[in-house]
Chains A and B, each alone.
Chain A
Amino acid sequence: MLDGGLYVTLVIAALVMAFPLIWMLLASFKTTPEISAVPIQWLPQEWNLDNFIAVANSIPIGRMIFNSVFITVVSTFLKVMLGLACAYALVFVDIPFKNVAFMIVLFTLLIPGQITIIPNYVLVAGLDWTNTYLGIILPGLASAFGTFLFRQQFMQVPRSLLEAAELDGAGHLRRLFRVVVPISVPTIAAVTLVTVVGEWNEYLWPSLVAKSPDLMTLPVGLTHLQDLEGIQNWGVLLAATTLLTLPMLAIFLILQRRLVAGLTAGAVTG
């Protein structure tokens, strides 16, 4: 009896959460009359790619997909590498005042990105880095969140393992990549996935730096498309929205466990 009520609630909840995404997908295949039909038309008459072709005619969508993939991959790779190297040094290389370096990382977590955008924009514009990949990628490269999680993980690694490797004559890089990294795979995977999602969805900074459509990422291209097509051309806008959301949905569905572990890491550590 009670379970029956619960089931109804859960089904409604699932519908409210999932149907908007299905509705988006359906709309990207509908013609304009189908979209504005009253009463509502649930399914498109024909499944064709007209809206996607219209997107490609309006903005350089192929180039934007490339930009999004390229920037996400390069940023994520470098961010994870910088974080791994920094965390390794913080845990395993002994120097005086090491804690100062850690405090620099830790305090960054308290500085909101928003307060940095005006000065960073002035710097990047002054260096003539607007409309360059460098200008989009570099300011966000340092990883405080990743470094913090890596450091916590590395502190669990038994020192004896590293000492044994050192006796075998392994240098620091070998110790990092042959000893520490292999036993930290779950943490690295979680941080990598969180970074991928964050970079893919990032909007404000790339929208300021990429002024030419050829440098725009998908989210920036989407608002650019809205400016060009007007607000009412829903089929075209939602086709582009579908292109932006499907990759993250796919990654989420396939790698759910690790991604969720990363996204909720703050609750476990904090």
Chain B
Amino acid sequence: MSSHALLSAAQSAAPPGRRAARRKKLWRNIGVFALLAGPNLAILLIFTYRPMFLSFYYSMLNWNIGSDFAQFIGFGNYVEWFNDPESARILGTTLLYTIATVAGGMALGLALALALNRKLFGRGIVRTITFAPYVLSGIAVGFLWMYIFNPNIGLLRTVLGWFGISSPPWFTQEPWPLIMIIIVTLWKHVGYVALIYLAGLQSVPQDLRDAAALDGAGTLRVFRGIVLPLLGPITFFLLITLTLSALQSFDLIRSMTNGGPLGSTKTLMYQVYVEGFQIGRGGYGSAVATILFVILLAVTAIQMKFVERRVHYQ
């Protein structure tokens, strides 16, 4: 503070020539900054911020994509969405998909991480194999699993047959299509979750565990008393990340079911696509996009609030 005051006092006392030089340097810096940061910031403003505000404006229009006619209808699209019985169903599907993939992913990922945390032969290979699907295209993953789930020729039919189970109607009858997409999402994400947990587990100090073990704590007690609390922040991070990714999930649904059959795998995100680009209702689609955005922001706000509180505790 005092150094600031000194600095500004020195600045105001500087002779005019030095001040002009300083001003010249400032303008040069502004020029350099504009050249270096300008392009990135301009693209962000044009292709991220502009559409964010425009989307809200579009949501107030009765307007089809590609049409010159647009009528301002205020919150009419939102009123329509909240009164449409399909919306409750879409919201339910979105919620179910999100809860199942987030909870399932974290449970399976943690279990896998605990197994991989032990010094077992070949664990590096298993870690590599389980992470691989995370880097693959959702469209491709959807295709290859459609082939596996196929009730007539699919591999899964044969595997289920070994246990005397007949293949359920994965593609045609509710709720199987949604269950199928949940399973594939878990397959794609479990390695990522496991790896994040593994990083956390490996940061648990070994001497802490040894001390607890010396005090006579069993494996389960060490896990519950020491490991689990230390994994808290990681669990929270995954909860938020997986929730945001589930709410925006698109590629798997697009390739496996197209939102069907009879809309049973249509999530909010998929509804934006259907309304905006298949039906072409740009205004209504933008309203759905805005609703999705508000939900995503709410999730992020929860994260920020929690992170802030954690900082206060420290």
Contacts and interface: CB of A to CB of B under 8 A. Distances in A.
A52 interface: no
B289 interface: yes
Given A3-B120, A9-B115, A241 B144 contact: yes
A167 interface: no
B55 A119 contact: yes
Contacts of B126: 10, 13-14
A1 interface: no
B43 A116 contact: no
Interface string A206-228: 00100000000011001100100
Given A14-B126, A115-B289, A238 B144 contact: yes
A223 B237 contact: no
A87 to B, nearest CB: 8
Contacts, number: 265
Contacts of B36: 85-86, 88-89, 93, 172
Interface stretch (B78-86, B127-135, B204-212): B127-135
A16 B183 CA distance: 12
A105 interface: yes
A155 interface: no
Most buried by A among B45, B269, B277: B277
A17 B289 contact: no
B293 interface: yes
A64 interface: no
A167 B241 CA distance: 45
Question: What is the interface of chain A mostly: helix, strand, loop, or mixed?
Answer: helix
A203 interface: yes
B65 A17 contact: no
B153 A36 contact: yes
Interface stretch (A55-63, A183-191, A258-266): A258-266
Interface stretch (B3-11, B25-33, B91-99): B25-33
B139 A112 contact: no
Given A89-B32, A267-B237, A115 B51 contact: yes
Contact of A122 (B65, B144, B297): B65
A270 B237 contact: yes
B289 A114 contact: yes
Question: What is the interface of chain B mostly: helix, strand, loop, or mixed?
Answer: helix
Given A9-B115, A35-B153, A85 B29 contact: no
A17 B32 contact: no
Interface string B252-269: 001100000000000001
Contacts of B282: 118, 122
Most buried by A among B122, B126, B191, B292: B126
Interface stretch (B13-21, B172-180, B192-200, B222-230): B192-200
A222 B147 CA distance: 14
Given A118-B282, A244-B140, A267 B40 contact: no
B144 A116 contact: no
Interface of A: 3, 6-7, 9-10, 13-14, 16-21, 23-24, 27, 35-40, 82-83, 85-86, 88-90, 93-95, 98, 101, 104-105, 108, 110-123, 125, 138-144, 147, 172, 197, 200-201, 203-204, 208, 218-219, 222-223, 226, 231, 234, 237-238, 241, 244-245, 248-249, 251-253, 256, 259-260, 263-264, 266-268, 270
29 contacts: A18-B132, A21-B132, A23-B148, A40-B155, A85-B39, A85-B40, A89-B33, A93-B37, A94-B29, A101-B37, A112-B248, A114-B293, A115-B52, A118-B58, A118-B282, A118-B285, A140-B47, A141-B47, A201-B138, A203-B139, A203-B251, A219-B137, A219-B140, A237-B143, A253-B132, A263-B134, A266-B241, A267-B234, A267-B238
Interface of B: 26, 29-30, 32-33, 36-37, 39-41, 43-45, 47-52, 54-55, 58, 65-66, 112, 115-116, 118, 120, 122-123, 125-126, 128-140, 143-148, 150, 152-153, 155, 158, 187, 190-192, 195-196, 199, 234, 237-238, 241, 244, 248, 250-251, 254-255, 269, 272-273, 276-277, 282, 285-286, 289-290, 292-293, 296-297, 300, 307
Sorted from nearest, which 4 A-B pairs have the closest CB atoms? A119-B51, A142-B43, A86-B40, A116-B51
Given A6-B120, A24-B144, A110-B300, 10 more contacts: A10-B122, A13-B130, A85-B39, A111-B49, A112-B292, A112-B293, A112-B296, A203-B139, A222-B143, A248-B135
